[in-house]
Structures are given as C-alpha cells and as structure tokens.
C-alpha cells in the first residue's frame, strides 16, 4: 500500500548519489534499487561487489518516474568522484555500516555533504549484523555531523536478530522477506512502548522547526501521517535534518521503503537548479560532471540537464552532440532527446571539460576542485618509440580525471604523475596503458636535493693549449664561499689593472653560475658567492670560450674542496585524523625523521586532530599508504615546501655513491 503522502503527481527525472565509506555496500544497494524498480538483473551476489574506482551511473524507472543512480567509490582516494556526483545530485543516500565504532568513517562523507549543500538521508545497510542498540548507532553517527539525524524507522528484533522495522512516520510495522518487499504485520506488543516514544521524539524534532506543528502538539492534536511526511520533506530539503533508515541491500530488505522515501523526499531538478543559482528560464543548459574514454564508444561526457532540452546531433554554443545515451540494464542505450533533470552520456563532445557547461552563452557553474595530490610516481613509456602514443594517452587520462596532476621536472627530465594515493595512481597507470596502448614504466621520483659548501676556498685555474694557429689561454683566480641559507648565488669581481679584460669577466660569471647546476653530489649548488679576484689573459689566444673552460674547471675543483654538504628539502605537513589515532600519527612522522611541531583539534571537526610537523621530502613517498593503513583509511595530509636542511651523513653518503656510479 502506498503511504498517504506518496501518491503525488509524478516528478521529472531525478538524480540520487550513493555515497559512504568503502565496504558499506553502495554498489549492492544500487543494484538492489535497480532490481526493485524492475530495471534488470541486480547482480547483487555478495556483501559488496568488487570496489570500484569510478562513479557508476544506472538508470531506471520507479512507479513511472525516471531516476539516475550515481554509485560513488567509497575510498578516500576517489573522493573527487563522489564530489562530482554531488555537484549534480538532487539528494544523496549515505550508506552506513551498522557498527557504532565505524561511524567515525562517516565524518569525511558528512562534511562533504555539509559543504555541498545537498540534502541527504542515511541508509544503515547490513542491519542483520546490528548488535548494538539502534539508538547507540544513531548517536555515534550524530557525533560526526552537524545535521540532525532523525530515525524514520525502528528495527524490530527477535532475540539477537533484526527481522523487520517500524516506520515511525506511518506507525506501520513490516517483516523482512527474502529478496522481496517487506510484509506488513501488526505492531508487536514487545516494541509498542518503545515505538511510541520514538514516534513522539520524531514529532518533537519536526515541531522544533515549525511553529504551527508545535502549536498543534501543545494543544494535544495528533498530526496525520500526511502532515508528518510533508514536514519531514520540507526539513530535509532545507538540510535541517536527515532521516535514518535501515535495511539489508543484499536481501532487498528495506529497499522498497527506501524507494518510497526517495520518491517522496528527493527534490526535483528545479529546486536543485535554484540551489545552484540557475535561473529557471533560458536556453537549454547542461553541466558535464564526468568524462570517460570508452574504447570504441570514444569519449563520453556525462551531463545533467538543468533546463530545456538537448537533442542528439544538435549544436549548443557551437558544440555539437555526437550521440546521446542512458545507462539502463547495465548497457548504453541511445536516446534522441533529454529534458530537464535527465542524466545522459554525450558522445564526441569537444571543448567542454569536466565541470563545464553546454548551451548558448552558457554560464560558468560552480564545480568542486579536486583535493591536492598526495602520491607521485615518475612515468615513462617502456620503449622510447612509444613516447608520442604515451603523450596522447596522458592527454585523455587527464581529461578523464581532474584529480591527477602531470608535471615535467626539467632538472631530472622525469615526467611525474601525482594523485590522491597509491591505489588512485596505480589505477590511473592501468587506464593510461589502455588509453595509449603502450606499456608504462613507473619509478620512485628523484628527490630534488641541493648542495652547498661549509667553508670558503681559493682556486686557481689556468688553461693553456697550443694546437697550431690561435691557441687557448685563460687564467682565473676564484674565491668560493658559502652564503646564508636562501640567499642564492652571487658573483662579484675584484679585478684591478685590467688583469682580466671586462669582455671576459661576463664569461667567467656565466660559467661560474653554470657550474652550480651540478655539484659533487650530482645536484644543483645553492647559496654560494663566487668572486673573481685575479687572472691573466693573452692578447691573441684568450677568448670567451677559454675563460669559460678555465672557470668550469676551477669551480669543479673548488666545490669539491669546500666541504660540500647535501641539502634536502623539508616540507611543512599537516596530518588530519581522528584523535584516537593522533599518537600513532606522531610515531609515524617521527619514524620518518619528522619533527613534530604540535597538534590541535581540527577546526570544525570535533574528535579529529591536526598534527603539524616538518618532514623531509624524501620521506613523503609512500606516506599516504602507511598513514591510511594506520588510521582505518581516514587520515589525510597537506604539505608544502618549507626550507632546505643539511641531510644526515648516511643519506649524503648514499647519494654520493649513487652520483659516482
């Protein structure tokens, strides 16, 4: 039977993002929703399908209404995929685990929802494994979000087993049935008293936000289920509360009730567009939220139509649509037109990047920027002849994934690919090989060490060669001395009496600076001063080239004698993690030669700490992997270059040996 307030006129197409921690069962729930809607085979077969590294869209119709389900990866390394889905979603379903101890994993998800402004509800999956009281679980989740969580359902237990639930809005009880809609039953006497208290608490929560309802309650009147549904929807859309529901996606328990909640509570595209500041009137407007290269299908741009209609083959703002598709029953299906609210894949869309808009004079719309990268590898084609193909693959890869960053290190010649973690980068390399059709080598990036000197030296270099005709002659006397950290390179001359003509002094200066590009350890030399104090020349045999050669030889000899020292870059790093892991975070950092500067509660994140430290750049590689393994996958960090510091002797010796080979 349809709930009282669920018989409203059909809405236009709506989009729902499924978000939550890895392993919570989002993909299983997405498949169960599609199956319950009659949209094809569910393919649920297990607690959770293999973890996905990309957003997976699915289309289905439920009770005559069109839906797009955006199943988002749960790993923090692919959080940008969830953020992109939320940018176009009408509502989000947070899929949570039934363990109060795991509620802390919801904090990043809740924070992303709070920042994005998307209304949401919580679906506690795997409720058959719920061992703690439901009230304790809701309290644990509430500690992780500023939005009030209001249970819409109360689990019914038989002994230790959850066998159904009570819908607190309609006060109806249901028993789960295997792979079928739940069966309505009478309210068990054992839960009647608890249910009444929970129902009253729900009404009180709604009355706190509505004076009319509050007055009704004070006067002793009982709101009808239709009135409660209306208040609940209004408060959810305003993001002043979020409903909490329970079920087991693997067995379709609670899935039909979730569908009915979505149908009633999810805002339509008009309300979502208004939240984004999009005017309701105007030419057709769509926003691309994901780009994917799909083999023979070519480039697909996933887009949400905010207003108007898009037609296959038509041009908008000079951009032509070369194919329009939906994902139904797991397959691409061509469609000729898409209206406001639709989520479609557009083929061969040129000139519109992820986050960009399509339409006549289309306005720029807000789109989430990806987090800063944390893990980096040097990449190259396994065979040099494939460099051009690799470059083409990289162009497609970066178009697909804005969270990746590609840099070229002019000093080392390395091409570096950076992402949000080892899995993210590893997945990107696999995609790169498919996109380019070439084998890719990866390596740990070289650390940008620097060198300086400890003591001043004087060096005399003389070049005298006679090979017939004009010879080569140059004589330079150099003083090489250290400068303060960060003061850079300086050149001076104290030539008197024309010992070295002015036209050659510039050549000495250039050669001296050029010689700092590679010191005894094989890295650039910084913070030194070079002074040309004396020298000699020959009227016929001296030249710029001769003075450059003599200077380079003198610099090489002098730097080796001046007690060279290896400098390593030190970064200031801020690590964020739940405070239960703070001690472990500090041990991790000190174990990587980090200097702890202090820690404090993370602003706006109760129960989380920010630990600040100075950490050698050489120790950043692999830190994300180890940090996440020690913080239940929740730890993250940001870092930036702080200063150069003298490397420990053992490291300097290792680098020197490598330079000598």
Helices 189-207 and 225-237, axial angle in degrees (round to 10): 50
Partners of 380 in the β-ladder:
441
Residue 81 contacts residue 73 (beta carbons within 8 Å): yes
Q: What is the mean pLDDT of residues 531-544?
A: 94
- Determine the Cα–Cα distance for residues 342 and 364; give it in Å rounded to an integer: 19
Instruction: Please determine, for residue 49, whether its predicted confidence score (pLDDT) is greater than 70.
Output: no
pLDDT at 292 over 80: yes
Structural tokens at position 611: 């630990």
What is the share, in percent, of the chain residues with pLDDT greater than 70? 95
Q: What's 172-183 look like in SS3?
A: EEEEEECCEEEE
- Please check whether residue 598 is in contact with residue 609, taking contact to mean a CB–CB distance below 8 angstroms: no
| Predicted pLDDT at 215 | 86
Which residue ranges form the domains of the chain, and what is each CATH number? 14-274 (3.40.50.300), 280-359 (2.40.30.10), 376-443 (3.30.70.870), 450-562 (3.30.230.10), 567-660 (3.30.70.240)
pLDDT at 296 over 90: no
Local confidence band at 445 (pLDDT 50, 70, 90 cut-offs): very high
Give the span between the Cα atoms of 123 and 138, in whole angstroms. 11
Phi then psi dihedrals of residue 162, to 5 deg:
-85, 120
pLDDT score recorded for residue 39 = 53
Q: Which of 514, 531, 532, 528 shows the shortest CA–CA distance to 484? A: 528
pLDDT of residue 51: 53
Q: State the residue for tokens 């999810």.
A: 266
Q: Max alpha carbon distance in the chain (Å)?
A: 116
Rounded to an integer, what distance in angstroms lies between the CA atom of residue 362 and that of residue 335?
A: 23
3-state per-residue secondary structure call for 361-387: CCCCCCCCCCCCCCEEEEEEECCHHHH
CA dihedral 214, 217, 223, 227 (to 10 degrees): 0
What kind and span of H or E run contains 61? strand 56-62
Strand partners of residue 251 = none
**Sequence-separated (6 or more) residues with CB below 8 Å from residue 454:** 482, 562, 563, 564, 565
Mean pLDDT for the stretch of residues 386-398: 96
Q: What is the pLDDT of residues 344-377, one digit of tens each?
A: 999 999 999 999 999 998 999 999 999 999 999 9
d(CA 128, CA 113): 27
Q: CB-based contacts of 25: which residues, under 8 Å, 6+ apart?
A: 47, 48, 95, 125, 126, 249, 250
Res. 469: pLDDT tops 70: no
Type and span of the H or E element at 229: helix 225-237
What does the angle CA 326 – CA 267 – CA 182 come to, to the nearest 5 degrees?
A: 80
Handedness of CA 325, 326, 328, 330 (dihedral sign): positive
Q: What pLDDT is attached to residue 6?
A: 45
pTM over cut 0.95 = no
Query: Which residues face 345 on adjacent strands?
Result: 302, 325
Q: Say if CB 33 and CB 43 are below 8 A apart.
A: no
DSSP output for 18-50:
EE-STTS-HHHHHHHHHHHTT-S-----SSSPS
pLDDT of residue 53: 84
Where are the alpha helices (H) located in 418-492, listed in sequence order? 422-436
Mean pLDDT of all residues in 247-263: 95
- Tokens matching residue 251: 């067995």
Q: Does pLDDT of 48 surpass 50?
A: no
Mean pLDDT of 309-324: 95
pLDDT at position 66 is 94
pLDDT tens digits, residue range 73-102?
A: 999 999 999 999 999 999 999 999 999 999
List the single range of 50-64, 391-405, 407-421, 501-515 with lowest mean pLDDT: 50-64
Structure tokens given for 254: 């609670």
Supply the pLDDT for residue 462.
95
Q: What pLDDT score does 210 carry?
A: 84
- Lowest-confidence segment of 267-276, 466-475, 617-626 by average pLDDT: 466-475
Closest alpha carbon to 524 in 562, 488, 478: 488
Confirm if 337 and 311 have CB atoms less than 8 A apart: yes
Mean pLDDT of all residues in 186-191: 91
Q: Is the pLDDT of residue 441 over 90?
A: yes
DSSP β-ladder status, 148-151 and 180-185? unpaired
CB 309 within 8 A of CB 317: no
pLDDT in tens, 560-611: 999 999 999 999 999 999 999 999 999 999 999 999 999 999 998 989 999 9
pLDDT over threshold 90, residue 147: yes
> DSSP class of residue 516?
T
The residue behind tokens 């992303």 is 112
Would the CA dihedral through 21, 25, 30, 31 be positive or negative?
positive
pLDDT at 96: 97
What is the DSSP track for 254-303?
Answer: THHHHHHHHHHHS--HHHHHHHTT--SSSS-EEEEEEEEE-GGG-EEEEE
Query: Strand, coil or helix: what is 196?
Result: helix
Which string of DSSP letters, residue by residue, matches 64-92? TEEEEEEE---SGGGHHHHHHHHTT-SEE
Cβ–Cβ under 8 Å, residues 151 and 194 = no
* pLDDT above 80 for 647: yes
Q: Is 341 left (phi over 0), alpha (psi -120 to 50) or beta?
A: left
Q: Has residue 3 got a pLDDT over 70?
A: no
pLDDT at 10: 62
Q: What pLDDT, on a 0 to 100 scale, did the predictor assign at position 9?
A: 52
Mean pLDDT, residues 529-534: 97
Contacts 24+ apart (CB under 8 A), 313-320: 316/283, 316/284, 316/286, 316/358, 316/359, 316/360, 316/362, 317/358, 317/359, 317/360, 317/361, 317/362, 318/351, 319/349, 319/350, 319/351, 319/352, 319/358, 320/348, 320/350
**Contact indicator for 441, 383 with CB cutoff of 8 Å:** no
| pLDDT score of 329 | 66
Beta pairing class for 91-96 and 120-124: parallel
């Amino acid at each position: 039977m349809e709930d009282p307030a669920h018989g409203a006129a059909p809405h236009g197409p709506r989009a729902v993002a499924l978000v939550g921690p890895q392993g919570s069962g989002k993909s299983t729930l997405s498949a169960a929703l599609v199956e319950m809607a009659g949209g094809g085979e569910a393919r649920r077969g297990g607690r959770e399908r293999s973890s996905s590294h990309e957003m997976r869209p699915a289309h289905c119709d439920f009770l005559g209404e069109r839906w797009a389900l955006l199943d988002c990866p749960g790993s923090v390394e692919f959080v940008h995929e969830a953020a992109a889905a939320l940018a176009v979603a009408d509502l989000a379903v947070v899929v949570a685990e039934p363990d109060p101890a795991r509620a802390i994993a919801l904090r990043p998800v809740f924070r992303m929802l709070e920042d994005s402004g998307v209304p949401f509800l919580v679906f506690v999956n795997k409720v058959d494994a719920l061992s703690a009281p439901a009230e304790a679980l809701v309290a644990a989740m509430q500690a992780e979000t500023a939005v009030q969580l209001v249970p819409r359902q109360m689990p019914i237990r038989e002994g230790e087993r959850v066998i159904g639930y009570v819908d607190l809005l309609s006060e109806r009880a249901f028993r789960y049935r295997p792979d079928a809609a739940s069966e309505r039953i009478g309210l068990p006497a054992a839960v009647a008293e608890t249910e009444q208290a929970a129902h009253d608490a729900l009404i009180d929560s709604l009355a706190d936000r509505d004076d009319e309802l509050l007055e009704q309650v004070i006067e002793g009147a009982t709101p009808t289920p239709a009135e409660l549904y209306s208040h609940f929807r209004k408060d959810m859309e305003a993001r002043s509360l979020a409903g909490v529901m329970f079920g087991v996606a693997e067995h379709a328990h609670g899935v039909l009730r979730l569908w009915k909640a979505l149908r009633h509570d999810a805002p339509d595209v008009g309300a979502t567009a208004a939240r984004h500041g999009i005017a309701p009137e105007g030419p057709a407007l769509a926003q691309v939220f994901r780009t994917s290269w799909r083999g023979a299908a070519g480039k697909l741009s996933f887009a949400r139509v905010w207003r108007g209609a898009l037609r296959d083959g038509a041009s908008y703002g000079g951009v032509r649509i070369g194919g329009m598709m939906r994902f139904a029953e797991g397959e691409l299906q061509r469609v000729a037109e898409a209206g406001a609210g639709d989520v479609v894949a557009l083929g061969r869309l040129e000139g519109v990047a992820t986050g960009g808009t399509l339409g006549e004079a289309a306005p720029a719309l807000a789109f989430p920027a990806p987090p800063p990268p944390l893990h980096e590898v040097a990449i190259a084609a396994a065979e040099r002849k494939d460099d051009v193909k690799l470059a083409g693959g990289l162009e497609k890869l970066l178009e697909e994934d804005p969270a990746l960053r590609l840099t070229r290190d002019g000093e080392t010649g390395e091409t570096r690919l950076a992402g949000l973690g080892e899995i993210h980068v590893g997945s990107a390399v696999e995609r790169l090989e498919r996109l380019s059709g070439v084998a890719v080598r990866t390596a740990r990036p070289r650390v940008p060490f620097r060198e300086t000197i400890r003591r001043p030296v004087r060096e005399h270099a003389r070049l005298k060669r006679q090979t017939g005709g004009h010879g080569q002659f140059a004589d330079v006397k150099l003083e090489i001395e250290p400068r303060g950290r960060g003061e850079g390179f300086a050149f001076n001359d104290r030539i008197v009496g024309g010992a070295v003509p002015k036209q050659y002094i510039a050549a000495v200066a250039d050669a001296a600076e050029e010689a700092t590009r590679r010191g005894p350890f094989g890295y650039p030399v910084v913070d030194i001063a070079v002074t040309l104090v004396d020298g000699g020349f020959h009227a016929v045999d001296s030249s710029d080239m001769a003075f450059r050669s003599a200077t380079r030889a003198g610099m090489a000899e002098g730097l080796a004698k001046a007690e060279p020292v290896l400098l390593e870059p030190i970064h200031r790093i801020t690590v964020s993690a739940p405070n239960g892991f703070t001690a472990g975070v500090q041990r991790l950092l000190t174990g990587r030669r980090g200097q702890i500067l202090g820690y404090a509660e993370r602003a706006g994140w109760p129960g989380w700490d920010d630990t600040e430290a100075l950490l050698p750049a050489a120790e950043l590689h692999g830190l994300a992997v180890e940090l996440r393994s020690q913080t239940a996958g929740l730890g993250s960090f940001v870092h930036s270059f702080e200063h150069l510091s003298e490397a420990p002797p053992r490291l300097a010796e290792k680098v020197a040996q490598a330079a000598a080979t």
